[in-house]
């Protein structure tokens, strides 16, 4: 099978020739792998079946706010902070906290879908034709995290719970922008894109981020709009969500979600065997390799055992994409990373060394 055939087969709940493979790495782990394997083509060596496409940003870049190292399309400024073993860019200038009235929201310099050149997408697809071609990512629409970087987490949660008009207007500007960005990109792909990738962290370690009634009233209509858009263009829809989402999975299925991405096995209710048994005939799971506990803290043999369980139990009958549950962090032993990908590809221990 080609990578494209393998991925689509699994999403359709049929068993492919081998499990489809995805990769989520921090830059530090990516660099370690490049140096260890003496190659820039890590995705090929690890057997990754997915490739991404997207439009080219052509608008002038926004000025970087004072005291910041970078700025995003929304005017939010970021500073780079060093942590043990790695570096993260954290929101520092909260541009979206400035508007306090609807008039100020409407006069804000929002990004436009016109800021991008979509004509490049079809050729990108042509060059990656054998792979499962993805558009988007976990930042679309990413209501809670995406807006909180520019407005503050506490304020965004308050906006949602109180349906504050200013906060909701800011959220809907983000959703409307990304909807049109996705629509134009899918149209430009001319039927060659396979998966629309989205994201919304709907869970924490103990359960849903919001009461299901709040999810139904606020998130469901906004997310389903994107699910429906993907299906209108004949593509599968995959959504990233961290945390415990078991109580929401029946809703995801009813909304039309095809793949739940980066599933974490540690949160309450997220035992891989249980969720596979309950929902695995209707929802494909991507992830389930622990990045909180197993990969960074356990032995190589224990990492292999977890990988084998996912391959022998969860992948049985299709409906599973082998992947770490999140970006593999810099404190993870490289031998453990190589071990899980050796298991996924059916290689002997040391086969990737």
Q: How far apart are CA 96 and CA 75, in angstroms?
A: 8
**pLDDT score, position 192:** 98
pTM attached to this predicted model:
0.97
Residue 213 maps to which CATH number?
3.20.20.210
- Tell me if 87 is assigned to some domain: no
Residue at token pair 């508007």: 99
pLDDT digits (tens, 9 = 90+) for 294-309: 999 999 999 999 999 9
Q: Which domain holds residue 214?
A: 3-54+114-345
CB 177 within 8 A of CB 201: no
The number of C-alpha atoms within 13 Å of 293 and in the hemisphere containing its C-beta is: 8
- Tell me if 73 is assigned to some domain: no
- Tell me if 209 is assigned to some domain: yes
Q: List the structure tokens of 34.
A: 């490049």
Residue 83's alpha-carbon distances to 89, 149, 248, 290, 297, in angstroms, are 10, 19, 34, 21, 18
Determine what percent of the chain is predicted with pLDDT higher than 70: 100
Q: How many domains does the chain have?
A: 1
- Whether 87 has a pLDDT exceeding 90, the answer reads no
pLDDT band at 110 (very low <50, low <70, confident <90, very high): very high
pLDDT digits (tens, 9 = 90+) for 243-300: 999 999 999 999 999 999 989 999 999 999 999 999 999 999 999 999 999 999 999 9
Residue count (the chain): 353
């Amino acid at each position: 099978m080609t990578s494209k055939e393998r991925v689509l087969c699994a999403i359709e709940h049929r068993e492919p020739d081998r499990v489809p493979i995805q990769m989520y790495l921090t830059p530090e782990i990516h660099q370690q792998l490049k140096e260890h394997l003496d190659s820039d083509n890590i995705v090929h060596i690890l057997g990754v079946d997915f490739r991404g496409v997207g439009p080219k940003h052509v608008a002038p870049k926004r000025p970087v706010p004072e005291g910041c190292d970078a700025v995003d399309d929304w005017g939010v400024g970021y500073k780079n902070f060093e942590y043990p073993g790695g570096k993260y860019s954290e929101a520092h200038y909260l541009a979206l906290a400035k508007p306090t009235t609807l008039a100020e929201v409407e006069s804000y310099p929002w990004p436009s879908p016109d800021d991008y050149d979509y004509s490049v997408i079809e050729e990108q697809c042509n060059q990656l034709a054998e792979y499962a071609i993805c558009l988007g990512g976990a930042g679309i629409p990413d209501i809670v995290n995406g807006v909180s970087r520019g407005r503050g987490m506490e304020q965004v949660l308050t906006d949602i719970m109180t349906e504050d008009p200013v906060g909701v207007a800011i959220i809907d500007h983000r959703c409307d922008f990304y909807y049109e960005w996705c629509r134009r990109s899918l149209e430009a792909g001319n039927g060659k894109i396979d998966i629309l990738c989205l994201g919304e962290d709907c869970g924490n370690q103990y359960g849903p981020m919001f009461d299901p009634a709040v999810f139904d009233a606020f998130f469901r209509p906004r997310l389903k709009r994107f699910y429906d858009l993907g299906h209108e263009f004949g593509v599968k829809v995959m959504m990233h969500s961290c945390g415990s989402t078991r109580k929401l999975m029946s809703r995801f299925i009813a909304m039309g979600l095809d793949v739940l991405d980066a599933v974490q096995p540690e949160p309450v209710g997220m035992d891989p065997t249980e969720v596979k048994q309950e929902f695995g005939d209707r929802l494909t799971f991507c992830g389930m390799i622990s990045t909180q506990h197993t990969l960074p803290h356990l032995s190589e043999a224990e990492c292999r055992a977890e990988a084998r369980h996912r391959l022998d139990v969860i992948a049985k009958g299709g409906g599973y994409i082998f992947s770490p549950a999140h970006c593999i962090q810099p404190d993870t032993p490289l031998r453990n990373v190589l071990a899980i990908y050796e298991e996924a590809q059916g290689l002997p221990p040391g086969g990737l060394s």
